Amino acid sequence: METVALAEVAAVLAEPSRATMCLALLDGRAWTVGELARSAGVSPSTASEHVTRLRDAGFVAGVRQGRHSYIRIADPRVAVLIEHLAQHAEHKPARGLKASLRAQRLAFARTCYDHLAGTLGVALRDGMVRSGIIAVYDGLAVTPHGRAVLTDLGVPIPEGGRRPLLRDCLDWTVRRDHLGGALPAALLTRALDKGWLSREPHRAIRLNNEEPFAALGVRLAEAA
């Protein structure tokens, strides 16, 4: 039974257009069907069929806002699955300068669903632990000092909810952990809103302001 279920999941992502849509949705944002169609290079009607297949498989969920409908990854666990599968695709050598530059940018900083990954994401975890913002001796936890630093930066600390505040997420480019969970998601949102970071194509993230990350203990020379 498990073999059948695994084959069904693999079949969902075996179609290139659906795989492209899932990779686009890994930026954590909600997309319209039309936007997904353009990202995959297919017609809106074909994109709608693919979205239905993804929804039936539990990969995506619909979100309504007023008269508009959007699609997003259904669950953080789905995002982790797609991110890890993408690891194997990225193991193939990049061909051409454009592909090589894209791979470098993704390796330095990218979104992993709704939190920061890549070399910068790993450096952020290291820095927050090293500076005492996060304690690791009894599971990941924000310290009183950490709450003060995050408050100074205007980063809200989510309370309650079923999602863990912090969890380790293995980074496939660095082969070490970056931070996932509700707090890293809030931190990424704050960084994008304030312009400390900005989005680039294909989930890549650009670092615009080093000071907030230095306050979080990041040693940027190590993350370069």
Q: Same structural domain for residues 60 and 98?
A: no
Write out the residue range of the structural domain in which residue 96 sits.
79-223
The CATH number given to whatever domain includes residue 43 is 1.10.10.10
Q: Is the pLDDT of residue 97 over 50?
A: no
Q: Same structural domain for residues 70 and 94?
A: no
- At 5 the pLDDT is 67
DSSP-based three-state secondary structure for 160:
coil
Q: Is the pLDDT of residue 187 over 90?
A: yes
Q: Same structural domain for residues 89 and 172?
A: yes
Q: Residue 96: pLDDT band by 50, 70, 90 thresholds?
A: very low
Q: Same structural domain for residues 117 and 211?
A: yes
Q: Which of 26, 48, 74 is the last residue of a domain?
A: 74
Q: Which residue has the tokens 């310290």?
A: 143
This model's pTM is above 0.85: no
Which range, of 20-29, 36-45, 91-100, 199-208, averages the lowest pLDDT? 91-100
Q: Which of 74, 107, 124 is the last residue of a domain?
A: 74
Q: Same structural domain for residues 111 and 214?
A: yes
Read off the pLDDT of each residue in 131-137 and give the average, rounded to a whole number.
Answer: 94
Read off the pLDDT of each residue in 31-41 and give the average, rounded to a whole number.
Answer: 90
Q: What is the percent of the chain with per-residue pLDDT over 70, rounded to a whole number?
A: 88
Q: Same structural domain for residues 157 and 95?
A: yes
Read off the pLDDT of each residue in 40-69 and give the average, rounded to a whole number.
Answer: 88
Q: Which of 42, 74, 106 is the last residue of a domain?
A: 74
Helix (H), strand (E) at residue 111: strand 110-112
Q: Residue 79: pLDDT band by 50, 70, 90 thresholds?
A: confident
Residue 84 vs residue 180, higher pLDDT:
180
DSSP conformation letters of 52-99: HHHHHTTSEEEEEETTEEEEEES-HHHHHHHHHHHHHHHTSPP-HHHH
Q: Same structural domain for residues 85 and 133?
A: yes
- At 88 the pLDDT is 58
CB 109 within 8 A of CB 200: no
Domains in the chain: how many in total? 2
- At 93 the pLDDT is 46
- At 99 the pLDDT is 45
Q: Same structural domain for residues 215 and 112?
A: yes
Q: Same structural domain for residues 166 and 209?
A: yes
Q: Same structural domain for residues 37 and 137?
A: no
- At 98 the pLDDT is 43
Q: Same structural domain for residues 156 and 56?
A: no
Q: What is the average pLDDT value for the chain, to the nearest integer?
A: 85
Q: Same structural domain for residues 111 and 172?
A: yes
- At 4 the pLDDT is 52
